């Protein structure tokens, strides 16, 4: 890719604009966001927990031996199981902690969707197909501007005026909170001006020398009990997501969350995400690839990625019939790496946690605080 800057510029330019592959009024088929009627996930009771420890080392990738067939063959959870998994812990900036038990409901006016060995981890598949995003014209424009860096080393995505979606393992290892989580910060890339001022009239004197991070403290975090419980029963990767609420609005355009459609309905069968891979320090790295397999909770793919990209929002761009426009939505969270036994032959995949109807209802309620605003995903 290094030898084709023109091709890279063209690709990035297409990503930044909203011109669809066909005219919105064309008779050609367009990949369309499904209309979901969603269940409701509501808090039932909240109680205080003892102050947590912050001793876990940050793991910038997670792994699991339970592959697609393992997940597909697992018994379906009961209603009580799901309620337990969707219950959640909230950690506040002052170090206090609560647990909230939830109830799951289906409103009569709308039905909830039902689901139709130690090895060296390798997360680059053949030729490295990642793109480092350079230049403020790209980095500060949507959708790349929605990617942020966590002070624990992971990536997150802006999903509301004060909220960031990331992977649970970026702040909690399943047993306790990661070091630094009590003073967790979120970093936003911005130009670092050579003359130190943004208000200069002379455009050449205000050209950015490089990019830097501006940090905002986190007010509170939500982690589902399915992740905390998961390390004991091998379903943890299914619930590897967390929501961070910032202490003040970030004032950037954000990307909405959406329910993950089946892989066969994704445009070209592909997903996209951008993250701060550790092997390219200071760079935002974009990639896209085909989905190879899926379960109800996970997407298996071979997008090139390295530690640090964990927590990136996985998104697609589809036609929004109601508004008659193209729209990108976050449909998953990049979690980590997995060796899978495929008919006796080990294969490695990168894994993203799908936003299912129940997870959408939960995350949306965390953001909005009102289930009536979370009825369509």
Confidence of residue 236 (pLDDT cuts 50, 70, 90): low
Confidence at residue 271, expressed as pLDDT on a 0 to 100 scale? 92
Q: Is 148 exposed, middle or buried (0-12, 13-18, 19+ CB in 10 A)?
A: buried
Q: How many CB atoms lie within 10 A of CB 45?
A: 10
Topology given in CATH for the domain delimited by 39-105+137-192+208-368: Thrombin, subunit H (2.40.10)
| pLDDT 10s digits, 324-373 | 999 999 999 999 877 666 666 667 788 899 999 999 999 999 999 998 89
Average pLDDT over residues 173-185: 92
Q: Which residue has the higher pLDDT, 85 or 232?
A: 85
Q: Which residue has the higher pLDDT, 264 or 36?
A: 264
Q: What is the largest CA-CA distance in the chain?
A: 66
Q: Find, among 160, 84, 113, the residue nearest to 376 by Cα.
A: 113
Q: Which residue has the higher pLDDT, 77 or 29?
A: 77
φ and ψ of 369, to 5 deg = 75, 10
DSSP per-residue string spanning 155-167:
EEEEEETTEEEE-
CB proximity list for 284: less than 8 A, separation 6 or greater: 132, 133, 139, 144, 147, 189, 274, 275, 276
DSSP per-residue string spanning 240-309:
--EEEEESS---S----B-PPPPGGGSGGGEEEEEE--TTSTT-EEEEEEEEEEE-SSEEEE-----TT-
Confidence at residue 337, expressed as pLDDT on a 0 to 100 scale? 75
Q: Which of 64, 260, 274, 310 is catalytic?
A: 310
Q: Is 71 exposed, middle or buried (0-12, 13-18, 19+ CB in 10 A)?
A: buried
| Rounded-to-integer distance, Cα 301 and Cα 270, Å | 9
What is the three-class DSSP state of 239? helix
pLDDT of residue 280 exceeding 80: yes
Reply yes or no on whether 238 is catalytic: no
pLDDT of residue 186 exceeding 50: yes
Q: Which residue has the higher pLDDT, 319 or 350?
A: 319
Reply yes or no on whether 310 is catalytic: yes
Average pLDDT over residues 201-225: 75
Indicate the DSSP class of residue 203: T
Segments making up each domain of the chain, as ranges = 39-105+137-192+208-368
Q: Which residue has the higher pLDDT, 301 or 136?
A: 301
For 140, 257, 368, the CA distances from 160, given in Å and listed in that order, are 17, 9, 9
Q: Which of 63, 81, 96, 234 is catalytic?
A: 234
| Rounded-to-integer distance, Cα 299 and Cα 291, Å | 7
Q: Whole-model pTM above 0.75?
A: yes
pLDDT of residue 256 exceeding 70: yes
Confidence at residue 359, expressed as pLDDT on a 0 to 100 scale? 96
| pLDDT 10s digits, 25-58 | 444 678 999 887 789 999 999 999 999 989 888 7
Question: Rg for the chain (alpha carbons), in Å?
Answer: 20
φ and ψ of 14, to 5 deg = -65, -35
Confidence at residue 141, expressed as pLDDT on a 0 to 100 scale? 80
Reply yes or no on whether 169 is catalytic: yes
pLDDT of residue 89 exceeding 70: yes
Q: Which of 71, 163, 169, 337 is catalytic?
A: 169
Confidence at residue 111, expressed as pLDDT on a 0 to 100 scale? 39
Q: Distance between the two ends of the chain, CA-based, in angstroms?
A: 36
| pLDDT 10s digits, 101-157 | 999 998 755 433 333 333 334 454 444 554 565 556 666 788 888 999 999 999 999
């Amino acid at each position: 890719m290094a030898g084709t800057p023109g091709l890279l510029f063209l690709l990035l330019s297409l990503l930044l604009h909203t011109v669809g592959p066909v005219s919105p009024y064309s008779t050609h088929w367009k990949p369309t966001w499904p209309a979901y009627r969603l269940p409701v996930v509501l808090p039932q009771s909240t109680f205080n927990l003892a102050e947590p420890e912050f001793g876990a080392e940050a793991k910038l990738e997670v792994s699991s031996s339970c592959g697609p067939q393992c997940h597909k063959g697992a018994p379906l959870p009961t209603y009580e199981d799901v309620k337990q998994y969707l219950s959640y812990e909230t950690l506040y900036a002052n170090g206090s902690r609560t647990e909230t038990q939830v109830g799951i409901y289906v409103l009569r006016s709308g039905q909830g969707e039902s689901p139709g060995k130690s090895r060296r981890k390798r997360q680059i598949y053949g030729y490295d197909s990642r793109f480092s995003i350079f230049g403020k014209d790209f980095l500060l424009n949507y959708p790349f501007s929605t990617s942020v860096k966590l002070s624990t080393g992971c990536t997150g995505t802006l999903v509301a005026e004060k909220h960031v979606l990331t992977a649970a393992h970026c702040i909690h290892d399943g047993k306790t909170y990661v070091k630094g989580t009590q003073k967790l910060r979120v970093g936003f890339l911005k130009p670092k001006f050579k003359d130190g001022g943004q208000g200069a009239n002379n455009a050449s004197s205000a050209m950015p020398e490089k990019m830097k991070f501006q940090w905002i403290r986190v007010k509170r975090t939500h982690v589902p009990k399915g992740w905390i419980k998961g390390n004991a029963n091998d379903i943890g990767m299914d619930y590897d997501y967390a929501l961070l609420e910032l202490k003040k609005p970030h004032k950037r355009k954000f990307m909405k969350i959406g329910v993950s459609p089946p892989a066969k309905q994704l445009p070209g069968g592909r997903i996209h995400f951008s993250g701060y891979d550790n092997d390219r320090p200071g760079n935002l790295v974009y990639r896209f690839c085909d989905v190879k397999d899926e379960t109800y909770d996970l997407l298996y793919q071979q997008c090139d990625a390295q530690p640090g990209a964990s927590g990136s929002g996985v998104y697609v761009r589809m036609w929004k019939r109601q508004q008659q426009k193209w729209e990108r939505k976050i449909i998953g969270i990049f979690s980590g790496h997995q060796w899978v036994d495929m008919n006796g032959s080990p294969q490695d995949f990168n894994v993203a946690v799908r936003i299912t109807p129940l997870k959408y209802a939960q995350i949306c309620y965390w953001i909005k605080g009102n289930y009536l605003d979370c009825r369509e995903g």
